[in-house]
Amino acid sequence: MAETMNSLLYPLCSTIALLILLYKLQSLRADRSVTQVVLAANSFFLFITFTVSTPSIWVLTSDFVGIVNFSGLLTQGSIIIMTACQQLLLLHLSYDPDIARVKAVPRLISLAVAIVAMSVLFAGAAEQGEAPNDFAIAHAQYTPAYLFVYLVAFTVNQVEIGVMGWRYSKIAPSLWLRRGLRLVSFALPFVLAYTTCRAAEIVVAQFGESGNLWEPAAQLAVATAVLVQTLGWILPDLGPHLTSAVIRLRHRRVYRVLAPLHRHITEQVPEIVIQVDLSWDLRTRLYRMVIEIRDAQWALHSWMDSRTAVVAHEEAERDGVEGEELAALVEAAQISGAIERKRHNHLPEEISETPLSAAPGDLAAELVFQQKLARAMSSPVALRAARHASASGTSPAREGPG
């Protein structure tokens, strides 16, 4: 099971890490700040960790260096260096540069000591044979001190990273940075699950047993923790692009909803329509569409019968409609009635006071309301009210006002 996990999971994680690394290297061209450099370094060691952990690469790396199981020291050392990078990043986000540098020194020294100690203790298990699939289990049995040092350094610093990330997420200046830091913090349970599995391996090894039973859980936990953290670190960069993509998709959907209404209403008053420039972005075209729909309503105002609004209002209320949905039905009825009257050149005896029944406060609210208006155009309530008003109380117009 562990061999299958290593052969499938780690290459996948390695590919993801490589994509992230390439993205961060591209970002360095425009921004070489400490945070971006540290993030790039973190991505590099993430790539090293998962690549070398792949069984075939593990053996090749150890053979190339000429030291049995050197790949184990390399991957776990890379994880410690990643932890250092994350500590540096959080310190630079949380404090002024001078204070961050001072606070970073003892942390970096402790992690450096841990790597040196791991390197010294590693020699005790180097002759046990290559173990690409159960390196940690082997060390738990033969040199538990090595695994103990690694786990203490990793766990203590990861807990601090989770706590620091959560604290700074409450005051981070941007939405996506807050979300990213929370995601980094959410990786902590997976970290603790991994370290618990590894600590259990040390304990059971003292009784002549092995942790093979929960080794897949340990591998899955650490892979999940690292990838969740990495996603959290790059989310502030990717987030704005995600927001823009969502907004574009939302605008496309709104545009499709409003286009039939715009076409239907402006056919009667084509003079208000401005020729769309193909260079305009979708948001600009959508904004123009909203304005033209409202302008068309006012242009048709003199064809709107006051009784249309009354009938639509009464029928809608009987059906339990209220709020903006009610206002949309009333406006839809007035539009349909006005278009019908204009086609037959029949002026109403009493013009409605206003063509509008709602007054959204901004563009976002206007877009929401006009979508309701577009859907209300096909409502039976609106159509009945429009037909009822246009069937009575009309007088031929000598000259249509539109």
Domains and CATH numbers, the chain: 2-241 (1.20.1070), 271-396 (no CATH)
* Mean of all residue pLDDT scores within the chain: 85
Q: Could you tell me the pLDDT band of residue 192, with boundaries at 50, 70 and 90? A: very high
Could you give the angle at the alpha carbon of 138 between the alpha carbons of 191 and 118, nearest 5°?
65
Identify the pLDDT of residue 399. 47
Q: Could you tell me the pLDDT band of residue 393, with boundaries at 50, 70 and 90? A: low
Q: Could you tell me the pLDDT band of residue 280, with boundaries at 50, 70 and 90? A: confident
CA atoms within 13 A on the CB side of 357: 26
139: left (phi over 0), alpha (psi -120 to 50) or beta: alpha
Share of the chain above pLDDT 70, in %: 90
pLDDT tens string 69-102: 888 889 989 999 999 999 999 998 888 888 988 9
pTM, full prediction: 0.72
Mean pLDDT over 209-215 rounds to 73
- What long-range pairs does 188-192 form, CB within 8 A, spacing at least 24? 188/158, 188/159, 188/161, 188/162, 188/225, 190/221, 190/222, 190/224, 190/225, 190/228, 191/154, 191/155, 191/158, 191/159, 191/162, 191/221, 191/222, 191/225, 192/155, 192/159
pLDDT tens string 17-42: 899 899 888 888 888 888 889 999 99
| Residue 236 predicted with pLDDT over 60 | yes
Cα(330)–Cα(328) distance, rounded to whole angstroms?
5
Q: C-alpha distances in angstroms, 255 versus 94, 251, 293, 361, 366?
A: 43, 6, 12, 20, 13
Identify the pLDDT of residue 13. 84
Identify the pLDDT of residue 129. 58
Q: First vs last Cα of the chain: how many Å apart?
A: 78
Q: Burial of 375 by CB count in 10 Å (0-12 exposed, 13-18 middle, 19+ buried)? A: middle
Phi and psi torsions of 254, nearest 5°: -65, -40
Return the DSSP state at 18: H
Cα(218)–Cα(5) distance, rounded to whole angstroms?
11
Amino acid at 231: L
Q: 258 CB contacts (<8 Å, ≥6 apart)?
A: 286, 289, 290, 293, 367, 370, 371, 374
Return the DSSP state at 395: E
Least confident of 46-60, 325-339, 382-396: 382-396
